[in-house]
Chain A
Amino acid sequence: MTERGPERSDANATYVFAVCRNPDPSAVAGLPGVTDKAPVSTLSLETLTAIVQTVRACEFTNEAWQARLCDQRQLERYARAHHDVVAAVAACCPTVPLPMATLYQSEERVRDALANEADRFHAALKRIAHHAEWGVKVYVPSCPPDDSNRSTTPADRSRPAPGAGLAYLDRKRGAQERRERRQDEALQAAEAVDAEVRSLATASRRLRLHGPQLAGERRVQVLNATYLVAEHRAAELTLLAQALGERTGAQIELSGPWVPYSFVGEV
């Protein structure tokens, strides 16, 4: 990737936020985008329009991104700037968002890309028309009350009784079985939620599970999935998530509507 990079430090590159049809140019007016070098603008090729911004190439090299990704504040700044532009465009017309850091060496290269991939963009636009993406995350408690010690009364503990070693092994075995049962139940809850939400979604994807640093100490994330849902079924989804939470006892977080980031790459 870097061998095609700019040789000169004053070279420009073109950052592409999204591709859409018939945008209202005023939708992105005033948005900062990812640089102060130039305003966010549009680049049209036949019926497709790319939402672009001219940037300094030296600030958007692979190395620059690597550094940015290691700095949470920088990463957040760019992710939100990207998302702000995508969301503003999507609010006014059908929009295929591109992943953050999609860059071309020139506007001409963007036009080439639009021309070469026009069919796929049209297919993606068709797929997501009148749909939004919704995220569903399911959590279970990480440390349910452990009653393994309550089976023995205080009297039992005062001195080793005959068979104490056997009782200890029984308790250990019981704890193991309970742990396995909890895992099974959590997995079943995740699968049940996923299956039911899929039944009203047009498409679905599993995302990577978030680790304990993100989920929090008291709960374990057992499902991080995202669904492409028709606009007219969004209210149904909210009710379903509520009902599933009550039925499974798991904590269910619904997020959305998102611009369908996760459903434009597979067409």
Chain B
Amino acid sequence: MTHGVVPWDSPGPLDGPIGVPLVDLLDRVLATGVVISGDLVIAIADVPLVRLSLHALLSSVSERVPAPWADGGPL
């Protein structure tokens, strides 16, 4: 196990490298912290994805902050 920080090898400001991990990208482009299961089916009920209203867009984030251990992950 490594204890080191694993930073991006970022070539330029605000210009993510090609290798931006998909899950980190989805955490952000979907703006709600999407949970992806192994087969990558998104819990769409939680993601108001197609927004025809900007108001909905700007008010839809950060309503749900998960409790740690909510999924009872193995430790």
**A contacts, CB < 8 Å to B:** 1, 4, 60-62, 65-66, 69-70, 72, 75-76, 79-80, 82-83, 86-88, 90-91, 97-105, 109, 113, 116-117, 120, 132-133, 135, 140-142, 179, 182-183, 186-187, 190, 205-214, 218-224, 226, 238, 241-242, 245-246, 249-259, 261-262, 264-267
Contact = CB atoms under 8 A, between A and B. Distances in A.
Interface string B62-73: 101110111101
Contacts of B33: 206-208, 224
Contacts of B70: 209
A104 to B, nearest CB: 7
A83 B23 contact: no
A266 B22 contact: no
A100 B8 CA distance: 23
B29 A79 contact: yes
Contact of A266 (B61, B64, B65): B61
Contacts of B30: 99-100
Given A65-B49, A190-B68, A258-B28, A265 B62 contact: yes
Contacts, number: 198
Given A251-B3, A258-B14, A265 B25 contact: no
B7 A238 contact: yes
Given A65-B49, A182-B75, A220-B75, A214 B36 contact: yes
8 contacts: A80-B20, A91-B13, A98-B57, A99-B57, A117-B54, A187-B69, A208-B64, A255-B8
